[in-house]
Structure 1
Amino acid sequence: MKKPSILLTNIHERSALGALQSLETANIRVIKATTVKGLQSLDKKENVILHPCPIEKFYDFKNWITEFVNKNEGLFVFPINEGIVFACESIRIEHADIEGRFIMPSHNSLKYTLSKFNATQAAQDAGLKIPKTFFIREAFSEVTNIPNESLNYPLILKWDNVLNPSGIYEKGSLRVVDNYMELVDSVAELKPISCSIILQQMVPGYGVGAFFLRKNGKIVLRFAHRRLHEVPWTGGVSAYCESSNNQEVLDAGEKLLEAIDYDGLAMVEFRKEDGKSPKFLEINGRLWGSLGLALRAEADFPKAMVESFLNGYTKVKQPDLERIVKWHEPRFDMLYLRSLWTETSKFKDEEAPKFKGAMQVALNFVNPTIGSDWMKPSEPWLTIKRYLRLLKNELGQIKRNLSSSKKKKHETPDIVLEGIKRTELLRNKFPQIKNILFVCYGNICRSSYTEFRWEAKRESNLELPKSKSVGFHNNVGRSTPLRFQSVARNLGVELSGHRSKRITSDLVNEADLLIVMDQRNLEDVKKEFPEAIIKTILLGAIGDNYENAEIQDPYGQKIGTGGAIYRRLDKELNKLEELILTK
């Protein structure tokens, strides 16, 4: 076998650490690299080089990889997550001279691993069982096919990875939508991202996976597992799992890979109910977080992948799948435990197994037959250090939860209570108002929307007062983020021409009423314009919603937040209009 150098980026991730263990055991030279943030979480920081974050600085990372490969003859890159795979695929396409230096699935195979849309279509065509699926939109298409309102909610909206028009890598994700309105708002918010979107029925049960290394039309290595604990407990990543010899799962995965002529590493994920056939979810073309289980079962995928790529064959033998092994990740098992008390299932008859789950987590920490990457017999101090750090983190979390619980029991902040009371007192003066100043922090999401919506109302009724909007952010001239422009447009408000403005004394003096969104806005007004606080009210308190008088900023929040907040703004503005027109 050749003696290559393998570059592992994001070495702090679970899958990369598993690959490092495999390759170093095989005496393959590994160059370890990670981000500045990733370096902080590593136990061993020696001989680790730094690279840009592949998510936050996609092009910088791409350029770094390209330059590093060109400078190091005989170096091969082994990508271990989708963001890195995405970047390396882009490099393979653009730089044919170094195309063969990336140990990853073929171009055609990545069409399916990087897209749940394409993978689900392929699984359906191959005759696999899939959840009921609606294909909402293909990547970069202008056509959006939202099904009618007569659906059985909740449903899962999923969107794919994509490099958006501004050159930023957008990681795919999912969210549960509970009604048609949430579906429409979320799809509208995703429109500028240009990603593929599907909508699927939720599948009860537990996660199962079939893992393969397929080269030149043949399966080189296979493995399967079942998730026993997931994070959260309602469904997610593995915290505690066991190997499996479920032939139905293995056959379904192999059937799909054959249908699409897959080449490379593949993790074919399913969800399964007891007594029922597994339903396909997705294909991942990279190493997975619970790689430690496969290695414990002697299914050495990293070594097999490198050997097959470089030599055309591997010395790794197919393990006996009848031998069941178990594995857990201590940190994730604690997250699973926490989720038993914090997460609620979307299925009416499914309750969190609190007692059983807690007992099993406790057993996982003391049962020597359950494997863990944390156990390093040759480095006992490192093992102790990891568990002490976990204990410290958990005690800190308990302290934070208790503190948060006490805060929830406390009364609403005084400044918010004052704002609510002032809103009540000023209602009878609303009909005399001539000028309104809508205020939020940035003047790009909330106050901008209220101004444009209110001015549209004035076009139909000139009796309504005039309005302007401002914020406290010092950077002016900023536009509304595209995702919120899209949501607003879907609701009939066009924000593409808006540019942010900062609040000034002249605008404050000109206004008869300042309408703010949250506690921070109240504090900023009181600090900078203390004389204006007597004419400052909370928009969210206008409709008597005193327990939820603040309207939070959607900026930086998850997909779907914008629509919910804009609809709330509309509701409060309608009430304001009603009160103003009441003579």
Structure 2
Amino acid sequence: MDSNQRTILVMDADQRSALAVTRALGSHYRSARLVTADVSATALAGRSKYASHYLRYPSPVDQPEAFVCWVKANCLNGQFDLVIPTTEVTSQLLLINAERLPDLPMAFAPYSRVMQLADKSRLVRSAQVLGIPVPLSRFYTRLAELDPTTLVYPVVLKPSLSKIFLGDRWLSTHVRVLHSAQDFNRVCQSDRYLAEHPFMLQEFIPGQGAGLFCLYHQGQAIQFFAHQRLREKPPEGGVSVLSQAAKVDQRLQAHASALLSAANWHGVAMVEFRIAEDGTPYLMEVNTRFWGSLQLAIDAGVNFPVQLVSGFFGEPIVANNHYNEQQRLRWLMGDLDSLYIFLKRPYSFRAKLKRLVDFAAPRFRNQRHEVNRLGDLKPFWHELQHYFKP
């Protein structure tokens, strides 16, 4: 089939990563039919000019059985040549139900292989075998195994799974940095899932985060990309709202390659590290899906969605190891949130003034906005409507 005549379904359409996928594929495959879908009546990627149709499905989080039934009824009879989920919950739910959804066209590794990386406890053990630096870690299957009198603070409490599937719903977990016994007791009360589900205690590594973005095809490394976070929400560290492409750190690439090759990885992955004050990169986690700042890579010249689709259909995958390292990406509404939080914090007047000037200063070269784009403005109007909705 001509690549331009294919029909592709992009799920989780209210995610910024889904918007990036939709725009990237729509720009590259001019005549392809791109269908977007999510749980709400309208969604970010659904408003893009590249989306030919929008579908609404039951919530994969709160109604997983109804969602699987929807997929079975709407996606297995050749309606779509490829289905692209863009969140952890949706992708894992589809993989968990692979036997019920035979021949669902997805560019993912099998569920068992995904969990080699998505399960943080298994990931750390694999890294230890491979000689990849990880924080000192202790493993527990449930809270009752832990003697709190042995804790040395600060310590990081990290559930093995970010999302736990309970059969009829999904449970979100949280990584906690504990600074005292009071913190520990508070977390035990709030995070009740610790009583029944595995977690780790890891030493706290002072330093800064770093990520490596990867594409593998049937165990073979195809593409690596890196970026630098310039501003985040919240300002002390979190989601990137202003970022810039960066040169791939060869140490991070070596560690990521060892890990992904050992897992015989297939598809995209974001490998996260924490760079300690002495320069040692410690492995933190791996996200087995498209990431929030995907649009930056595309703008810099690394079109991960097109590479993924090309590989799925057996076409040549064009890698780019000489992308524009000066390219920046700004998520305007996220940056506005970050500014508001910063101005409310007890920083000095000078620091607040500088932050305000940095926010307002225009940049005309090598910077694009993530959502608001002149040639495709409807997603931005959608974002504005929801941003100011009471």
Q: CA deviation at 1:21?
A: 0.8
Aligned to 1:98: 103
Report the Cα offset of residue 73 of structure 1: 4.4
Task: Confirm or deny: 8 A CA contact 2:307 2:317 kept in the other structure.
Answer: yes
Matches within 5 A, 1:160-171: 160=161, 161-164=163-166, 167-171=168-172
The alpha carbon displacement at 1:13 in A equals 0.8
Contact 1:213/1:222 (8 A) holds in 2: yes
Three-state SS of the structure 1 residue aligned to 2:13 is coil
State which of 265, 278, 282 in structure 2 corresponds to 1:279: 282
Describe the SS at the equivalent of 1:302: helix
Is the Cα contact below 8 Å between 2:22 and 2:45 reproduced in 1?
A: no
Q: Are the equivalent residues in 1 in contact too, given 2:13–2:44 (CA < 8 A)?
A: no
Instruction: Count how many residue pairs are aligned between Structure 1 and Structure 2.
Output: 379
* Secondary structure of 1:226 counterpart: strand
Q: What residue is the counterpart of 1:131 in the other structure? A: 135
**Contact preservation (8 Å) 1:162, 1:193:** no
Kept after mapping to 2: 8 A contact 1:9/1:80 = yes
The answer to whether structure 1 residue 83 and structure 2 residue 89 are counterparts is: yes
Partner of 2:256: 253
In structure 2, how many angstroms separate the alpha carbons of the residues matched to 1:182 and 1:65?
42
- Structure-2 residue corresponding to 1:536: none
Structure 1 match to 2:66: 60
Alpha-carbon distance in 1 for matches of 2:183, 2:214? 37
Superimposed CA distance per residue, residues 158-182 of structure 1 (whole angstroms, 9 cap, x where no aligned partner): 45121126x2111333233332354
**TM-score (norm. length: structure 1):** 0.58
Measured after TM superposition, the shift of residue 32 of structure 1 is: 1.0
- Deviations along 1:238-284, one digit per CA (max 9) or x if unpaired, are 11111121222222221221233222211101122566122211111
Report the Cα offset of residue 293 of structure 1: 0.6
Structure 2 vs 1, CA of residues 203 and 356 (structure 1 numbering), >3 Å: closer, same or farther? farther
Query: Residue 316 and residue 252 in structure 1: after superposition, are their counterparts in 2 closer, same or farther (change >3 A)?
Result: same
d(CA) in 2 for partners of 1:261, 1:46: 35
Aligned to 1:539: none
Distance 2:157 2:279 in 1: 21
Q: Does residue 69 of the first structure (1) align with residue 75 of the second (2)?
A: yes
Q: Write 1 or 2 for the structure with the bigger share of helix.
A: 1
Amino acid at match of 2:62: E
SS at match of 2:259: helix
- Corresponding position: 1:120 with 2:124: yes
Instruction: Look at both structures and tell me which one has the larger radius of gyration over its CA atoms.
Output: 1
- AA paired with 2:136? K
* Higher relative contact order (CA closer than 8 Å, sequence separation 6+): 2
Q: Which amino acid aligns with 1:370?
A: Q
Deviates more, 1:226-235 or 1:68-77: 68-77
* Offset at residue 11 of structure 1 (A): 0.9
The equivalences for 1:564-579 within 5 A come to none
> Aligned equivalents of 2:131 and 2:203: distance in 1?
18
Q: 1:195 to 1:66 in 2, by over 3 A?
A: farther
- 2:215–2:268 contact (8 Å) kept in structure 1: yes
1:39 to 36, 43, 47: 43
Is 1:372 the equivalent of 2:369?
Answer: yes
Going from structure 1 to structure 2, the CA distance change for 1:38 and 1:112 (only over 3 Å counts) comes to farther
Distance 1:70 1:372, change over 3 A: same
SS in structure 1 at match of 2:131: coil
* Cα 1:344–1:19 shift into 2, 3 Å: farther
The answer for the alignment partner of 1:362 in structure 2 is 360
Instruction: Tell me the amino acid that sits aligned with residue 91 of structure 1.
Output: N
Aligned runs of 1:68-467 on 2, under 5 Å? 68-92=74-98, 94-95=99-100, 97-98=102-103, 101-137=105-141, 144-146=145-147, 148-153=149-154, 155-160=156-161, 161-164=163-166, 167-184=168-185, 186-187=187-188, 189-191=191-193, 194-245=196-247, 246-273=249-276, 276-311=279-314, 313-321=315-323, 323-341=325-343, 354-363=352-361, 366-379=363-376, 382=378, 385=381, 393=388
Cα contact 1:7–1:76 (8 A) shared by 2: yes
The 8 Å contact of residues 326 and 370 in structure 1, kept in 2 or not, is answered as yes
How far apart are 1:30 and its partner, in Å?
1.6
CA contact (8 A) 1:105 1:264 kept: yes
> How far is the alpha carbon of 1:294 from its aligned partner?
0.5
* Structure 1 residues 196 and 355, CA gap change in structure 2 (3 angstroms): farther
Residues 361 and 5 of structure 1: CA distance in aligned 2, closer, same or farther (over 3 Å): same
Distance in 1, matches of 2:176 and 2:154, equals 12
Preserved CA contact (<8 Å) 1:205 1:273: yes
What CA distance in whole angstroms lies between the structure 1 residues aligned with 2:380 and 2:102? 47
In the superposition, relative to structure 1, how do residues 387 and 367 fare at CA in structure 2: closer, same or farther (>3 Å)? farther
Q: CA RMSD in A?
A: 3.3
Identity of aligned residues (%): 21
- Residue 241 of structure 1 aligns with an amino acid whose one-letter code is S
Match of 1:507 in 2: none
Q: Which amino acid aligns with 1:97?
A: P
Give the aligned residue type for 1:132.
Answer: L
Unaligned runs of 5+ in 1: 346-351, 398-583
Task: Compute the TM-score of the two structures, normalised by the length of structure 2.
Answer: 0.84
